[in-house]
């Protein structure tokens, strides 16, 4: 039986949160994608894994899993398009949420709808274009089953999830750091026809966030459990975590050990380590978990020697930043201060103070 400490230690090492330096090529989380949400986003996640100054030319940002922006190696985009595409029409319907209902009523399959939107997007975006302008042009081209009235916008436009999930199908990427988002064509883009094991999203979840179950993987992908089960790796080994049956890739079983990884990191709110769907394993206290994974204004997590030991926030004032930390348990305060210095340097700011509360 595996302990939660063994599982969390495995994930820290698998995600390379315990290393000091690395390259884009050898950074494992880029196989599954690094979510680029929030002030620091993907670049901070890469910095925490030792990739301090990645070349912007070697990375690309696209909407993929859960419709969220993710950063990948640019050279991998054809494979990523195939790896992150829905497994089936039912999977596509689950991923596009409420957009599936009017499509079904109109007799349009979910995959056909995504291709239709992608074709229109491809014809519209031939040069960099702000999302709002592209959305306006796209809406004018689409039939009613693809459209909805949006109360916040007080306008009719294409459903958001089909919009996002069709962009990579259309060969479009996001210009890094743009807000509102700017879309542009990916030069020479053609999706791959096969997906190497390294980029298979089910295997990647097990490799980076295992041990897991089909339900946990499906939750991360927004896919039906049935589709994940159909693609479950034949080389997945069964293990037990706190009495629950889970699976890990056979090649990774020998990497489990009892030694906690020695590392302190200020994880961004959407860092992959915090994206695991077994939140109660990461944070056992439901009150603390609710604070860490709040819907709005989500803080970052303080990782210390394999455990999430608190939350953190950064407040910018002029050319300086104050990092406030709320600890749930004792941790190395000197190491936390070092990481706050690292964050300030990453943002190009001066660290004015580190406020640590219990």
Q: What is the pLDDT along the chain (358 residues), one digit of tens a residue?
A: 899 999 999 999 999 999 999 999 999 999 999 999 999 999 999 999 999 888 889 999 999 999 999 999 999 999 999 999 999 999 999 999 999 999 999 999 999 999 999 999 999 999 999 999 999 999 999 999 999 988 888 889 999 999 999 999 999 999 998 999 999 999 999 999 999 999 999 999 999 999 999 999 999 999 999 999 999 999 999 999 988 999 999 999 988 988 889 999 999 999 999 999 999 999 999 999 999 999 999 999 999 999 999 999 999 999 999 999 999 999 999 999 999 999 999 999 999 999 999 8
Per-residue pLDDT, 232: 98
What torsion, rounded to 10 degrees, do the Cα atoms 95, 98, 104, 105 define? -170
Place of tokens 């990739």: 51
SS (H, E, C) 294-322: CCCCCCEEEEECCEEEEEEEEEEECCEEE
Structural tokens at position 106: 């109109």
Buried b (16+ CB within 10 A) or exposed e, 64-86: bbbbebbbbbbebbbbbbbbbbb
Residues 6 or more apart whose CB falls under 8 angstroms from that of 265 comprise 17, 48, 302, 303, 339
What is the spatial distance between Cα 314 and Cα 112, in angstroms, rounded to a whole number? 44
Buried b (16+ CB within 10 A) or exposed e, 87-119: beebbbbbbbeebbebbeeeebebbebbebbbe
Q: Cβ distance 200 to 80 under 8 Å?
A: no
Q: Cβ distance 326 to 294 under 8 Å?
A: no
Per-residue pLDDT, 286: 97
* Measured CA distances, 286 to 41, 267, 293, 294, 330 (Å): 26, 20, 10, 12, 19
pTM: 0.96
What is the spatial distance between Cα 99 and Cα 13, in angstroms, rounded to a whole number? 39
What is the spatial distance between Cα 292 and Cα 19, in angstroms, rounded to a whole number? 25
């Amino acid at each position: 039986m595996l302990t939660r400490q063994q599982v969390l230690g495995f994930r820290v090492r698998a995600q390379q949160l315990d290393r000091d330096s690395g390259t884009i090529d050898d950074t494992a989380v880029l196989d599954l994608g690094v979510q680029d949400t929030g002030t620091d986003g993907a670049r901070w996640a890469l910095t925490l894994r030792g990739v301090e100054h990645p070349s912007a030319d070697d990375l690309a940002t696209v909407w993929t899993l859960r419709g969220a922006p993710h950063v990948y190696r640019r050279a991998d985009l054809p494979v990523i398009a195939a790896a992150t595409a829905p497994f089936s029409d039912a999977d596509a319907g689950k991923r596009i949420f409420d957009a599936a209902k009017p499509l079904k009523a109109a007799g349009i399959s979910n995959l056909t709808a995504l291709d239709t939107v992608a074709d229109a997007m491809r014809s519209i975006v031939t040069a960099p274009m702000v999302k709002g302008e592209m959305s306006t042009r796209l809406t004018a081209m689409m039939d009613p089953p693809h459209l909805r009235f949006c109360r916040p916008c007080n306008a009719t436009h294409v459903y958001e999830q089909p919009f996002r999930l069709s962009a990579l199908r259309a060969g479009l990427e996001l210009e890094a750091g743009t807000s509102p988002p700017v879309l542009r064509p990916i030069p020479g883009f053609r999706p791959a026809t096969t997906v190497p094991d390294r980029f298979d999203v089910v295997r990647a979840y097990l490799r980076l966030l295992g041990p897991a179950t089909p339900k946990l993987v499906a939750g991360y992908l927004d896919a039906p459990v049935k589709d994940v089960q159909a693609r479950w790796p034949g080389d997945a080994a069964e293990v037990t975590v706190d009495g629950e049956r889970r699976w890990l890739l056979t090649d990774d079983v020998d990497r489990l050990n009892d030694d906690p990884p020695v590392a302190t990191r200020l994880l961004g709110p959407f860092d992959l380590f915090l994206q695991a769907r077994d939140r109660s394993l990461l944070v056992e206290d439901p009150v603390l978990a609710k604070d860490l994974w709040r819907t709005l204004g989500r803080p970052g997590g303080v990782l210390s020697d394999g455990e999430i030991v608190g939350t953190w926030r950064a407040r910018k004032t002029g050319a300086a930043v104050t990092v406030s930390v709320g600890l749930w348990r004792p941790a190395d305060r000197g190491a936390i201060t070092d990481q706050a210095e690292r964050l300030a340097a990453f943002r190009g700011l001066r660290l004015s103070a580190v406020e640590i509360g219990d």
